[in-house]
Structure 1
Amino acid sequence: MPVSGNTGTVFGESPRGWRSPQTLFAHMPDEGYVRPSPAKKKQETTAISLVVDIASLIIKFHVYLHYIFYQEECQRFCNSLSVFSTRRLERRYFAIDALLWRLYDNRTCFLFKGGIFPVKYMNKVFYGWFVVAACFVILFSLHGVIINTFGVFVKPVSEGMGWGRGEFSMALAAGALAMAFGAPFVGRMIDRFGAPKTMLSGCLCCGLGMVVLCWATMIWHFYLLFILIGLGLSAATTIPVSLVIANWFNQKRGIAMGTAFMGTSAGGMIMNPINALLLQKFGWRDSYLILGIVVMLSSIPLVLFIIRTRPSEMNLLPDGKPSHAASDQPLTGHTLKQAIGTASFWFIAANMLLTTGMANSIGVHCIPFLTDVGHSPLFAATAYGLSMGFMTLGKVASGFCADRWGARQTFTFSAVMTAIGIGILLFASPVWVVLLFVFVFGFPQGAPLTLTPLVTADCHGLRSFGSIFGLATLFSILGAAIGPVIVGYMYDSSGSYTGGFILLIAMTLLGAYCIHMAKAKEQFEVGAIASGRLDKADVA
């Protein structure tokens, strides 16, 4: 029977087919719910009624919990499902209704416009922090499983298939180039379709690519699949996560960004030994299959149920301020065309190229250098793994410092510390010097990934953040691909890493200078309007 009448209130009269707590318990018999006899139960348990029962239970559970917050929406939903509003079903689910209301009274959990989280924390914890936690897990599973553990598979795959290590490593380079050239398109997809849909496509590409790797038999299979994985990583990791967190936070944007991006280094630190165990027990083919399934199971539900592009989709404002009219507030900032016309954009792009090139060069050549100066491969790998652990802490610390002292100042300090750390690495023959390098280099390395999106949002606003940051990320990935090649060539020509590491020190300091020169949006607009390059009507 269709539901009719006003929606009423949660604790008052409800339309037919709904029960408020008072109405529900007023109709409950004193002797409680009487279970049907076995004979009657056997009669009713046919294939069709079982399907109807399960569907009714799911629908009632979904609708009752939504009704608490979206009465009109749920009434329309119930009207379309009137076939389930029969007396028999109402009698059967009488106890279920009571149980659901009891769960609500105990404030156990609820389904909120696609988001799932404990109700008892609703008024205490801003939903944006659940978005941050989801981004952490997504970066952990995608970036940590795929990128930061690639080296674990190099030896078993290359030896098992009879390929050279350099030949197999080109698969990662193909993925990096796919990430680079896909980044600008990802930004446009986010601006047009939103972050959840874009991230969902990326998670599917990554997971399916990892699964299909277990059947790869030719080297070009790896190249093609890593191109697919690279496009997926571009769509699901750095660009959308940066945009989502920038939308959800203003005052605590730095620490939120740092917490989310902890997932990249934490994933590498934890998943490397786990992947080694999987390889030892199952081999590389089954390991790829297992990891692909894990990637999809750990990321897709979070994208569907937790991630939201901006707080206005949940009737909130950034930093947790409630709003009943926040959904129509326009985002301010530059368009992509305006941003490209600023020097700030090119300073940010140059910074990303230099700092990412430096970081990836150390990641590729640190362990070979430590073994060259007399340390064992196990010690060298452990030392670099410890530096990634300090990097995880540094991401949160840099976000906290950015909120307190500013992103540019924090970035400059971290760059100086990083340059000192690379200088220490040149004298890393004693063990204690290596341990000093692990801390001095690793801790500030968490800053660039956390602070660069903050500076980008400060310079260009959030109006077209996805497109702007996506284009800038192109330079970051190009630096990651080119930097290790240059350092490797310098080593081949001189037989020493000294010249290459000195170049990395210069790149680090030059990157800090570039980020310091990037002007804030307001500074650019004042100068551009005064010079006639920007009209006042274009400033939104």
Structure 2
Amino acid sequence: MTALTEQFAQGNRFLGWRMVGVAFFVDFIAVGFFFYSYGVFFKAIAVEFGDSRLGVAVGITLTQGVGAILAPILGRALDRYPLKLIMAIGALSMGTGFLLLGVSSTALQFYLILSIFVGFGAGAMGQLATSKLVSNWFVLKRGMALGIAATGISLSGVIMPNISAALITNYGWREGFLFYGAVTIILVVPLVLKFVISKPEEIGQLPDGETEISRLPTPKPPLKTREFLTDRNFWMLVMVIGLLFCIQSGTLIHMVPQLTDRGYTLYSASFVASCTAGFGILGKLTFGSLVDRWDVRHALWLGIGSQVLGQLIMLLLPGYTPFLIGACFFGFGMGGVVPMQGAVVGAAFGRASFGRVLGAMRPPMAVIHLAGVPFAGWIYDTTGDYTAAFTTFIVLYLFAAGAVMGISVNTKANRVLN
């Protein structure tokens, strides 16, 4: 009997699912406190600083842009240093940023704080770090584990728009950011430092809770930068995920303003945003499981098809209820993108290079991704509505669906290599 088998026979519990729980909570904070809440804060910030919707939209673009620029550096750090250290520093930076946003006095200060503190913090503690953590602990069940962890993103979207609306209505947008900053520093930093373990081998365990290494796919060695940059899958994934993130961010950030423009209350609009995220939970669980069993291209096409159906309903059918139904279809398809991206990167490039590869993808993806939010804001400022923006998004889906054809990765649990 091997040492690992003896450990498990003595009741040594596999800690991978605890890492999934930590990733769930961190994703909830990192994404929900900013990305899902920013659309609710949108109009209040614009009124405060007398800015156009394009100007306010640039704020989130700057934040994501800084994260994209830093991603290759952060990716290398995540592969090299303890994950708890990087994630804790990121949480401290994000929490500090929220606190400073609450006392900012000019638009310039607001955007600088977003870019420097929140941009770095979100990159260091958010999806790049949590995907690396979960992928280190799972190989055979990687898609499912990533899907469960990523439901923290969608659950935050269910809860946080309504909380943000209540904070703004009853206290003000500044007080909302002060609250988020305090919660991030007080809760996230200690939790990460206490519970995060970078990989199972550090405590004598194996991925997926296996007790025999022979039952796992042969691990890939660390890749050189040139090796993954010349891999077609790298660039096809950049194109597909970049386009989908572009469309999704532009849709989500402008969803609440679009509904309030039609005369619905902030609470009613926030409810639609919450339902979108709620169906995102279902999407993450569904697609995370499917990608462990299906050809990943089929899963991606299903997700794109659901989003297109939702966009068409929101664009073409009048009324609150059709918009809500369309948002749910959109949210379901959107939910699967994050776990599918992580599963493909892990299967194609291996655990040892996961952080570097995912980090290297961010800058070229950002060139596509970051155009979505300001583009929709510019269309509104120019035309007075969002029709042209969302029509363009539907066309971009077709390009994304075509690019999926170029992806050739086996993410199934019975594959030979991980």
Q: Do they fold alike, i.e. is TM over 0.5?
A: yes
Gaps of 5+ in 2: 1-7, 412-416
Letter in 2 for 1:409: H
TM-score, normalised by the number of residues in structure 1: 0.67
What are the residue-to-residue correspondences of 1:67-78 with 2, within 5 Å? Answer: none
Distance in 2, Cα, partners of 1:429 & 1:219: 35
Letter in 2 for 1:425: M
In the alignment, which of 256, 265, 275 is matched to residue 164 of structure 2? 275
Larger Rg over CA atoms: 1
Report what 1:294 is aligned to. 183
Report what 1:360 is aligned to. 249
Distance in 2, Cα, partners of 1:166 & 1:275: 21
Report what 2:41 is aligned to. 153
Report what 2:65 is aligned to. 177
- Distance change in 2, residues 1:431/1:503 (3 Å): same
SS at match of 2:279: helix
Letter in 1 for 2:19: V
Report what 1:311 is aligned to. 200
Report what 2:124 is aligned to. 235
Distance in 2, Cα, partners of 1:490 & 1:286: 31
Distance in 2, Cα, partners of 1:426 & 1:272: 22
Q: 1:374-418 deviations in whole A, cap 9, x for unaligned? A: 766654442233112111221111111212224332112111221
Is residue 517 of structure 1 aligned with residue 400 of structure 2?
A: no
In the alignment, which of 119, 122, 142 is matched to residue 30 of structure 2? 142
- Distance change in 2, residues 1:279/1:440 (3 Å): closer
Letter in 2 for 1:480: H
Report what 1:220 is aligned to. 108
Report what 2:414 is aligned to. none
Q: Number of matched residues?
A: 402
- Distance change in 2, residues 1:370/1:212 (3 Å): closer
What are the residue-to-residue correspondences of 1:56-455 with 2, within 5 Å? Answer: 123=11, 126-160=14-48, 166-227=54-115, 228-322=117-211, 332=221, 334-370=223-259, 378-455=267-344
- Distance change in 2, residues 1:320/1:477 (3 Å): same
Is residue 468 of structure 1 aligned with residue 357 of structure 2?
A: yes
Shift of 1:317: 0.5
Instruction: Indicate conservation of the 8 Å contact 1:460/1:520, yes or no.
Output: no
Report what 1:506 is aligned to. 395
Letter in 2 for 1:426: L
Instruction: Indicate conservation of the 8 Å contact 1:142/1:233, yes or no.
Output: yes
Instruction: Indicate conservation of the 8 Å contact 1:138/1:298, yes or no.
Output: no
Distance in 1, Cα, partners of 2:352 & 2:193: 24
Q: 1:163-208 deviations in whole A, cap 9, x for unaligned? A: 5555444332221211111111111111221322211211111011
Letter in 1 for 2:313: I
Asked which structure has the greater RCO (Cα within 8 Å, sep 6+), the reply is 2
Distance in 2, Cα, partners of 1:508 & 1:255: 25
Shift of 1:492: 6.1
Deviates more, 1:406-415 or 1:377-386: 377-386
Instruction: Indicate conservation of the 8 Å contact 1:333/1:463, yes or no.
Output: yes
Instruction: Indicate conservation of the 8 Å contact 2:158/2:277, yes or no.
Output: yes
Instruction: Indicate conservation of the 8 Å contact 1:336/1:464, yes or no.
Output: no
Instruction: Indicate conservation of the 8 Å contact 1:179/1:231, yes or no.
Output: yes
Report what 2:374 is aligned to. 485
Distance in 2, Cα, partners of 1:374 & 1:285: 25
- The alignment's C-alpha RMSD in Å is 3.1
Instruction: Indicate conservation of the 8 Å contact 1:419/1:509, yes or no.
Output: no
Distance in 2, Cα, partners of 1:384 & 1:215: 27
Shift of 1:368: 5.0
Distance in 2, Cα, partners of 1:246 & 1:159: 43
Gaps of 5+ in 1: 1-118, 523-538
Distance in 2, Cα, partners of 1:310 & 1:512: 34
Letter in 2 for 1:202: G
- Distance change in 2, residues 1:487/1:137 (3 Å): same
Distance in 1, Cα, partners of 2:74 & 2:390: 34
SS at match of 2:196: coil
Deviates more, 1:433-442 or 1:150-159: 150-159
Letter in 2 for 1:336: T
TM-score, normalised by the number of residues in structure 2: 0.86
Distance in 2, Cα, partners of 1:177 & 1:322: 42
Letter in 2 for 1:137: F
Distance in 2, Cα, partners of 1:505 & 1:295: 36
Q: 1:12-36 deviations in whole A, cap 9, x for unaligned? A: xxxxxxxxxxxxxxxxxxxxxxxxx
What is the identity percentage for the equivalent residue pairs of Structure 1 and Structure 2?
28
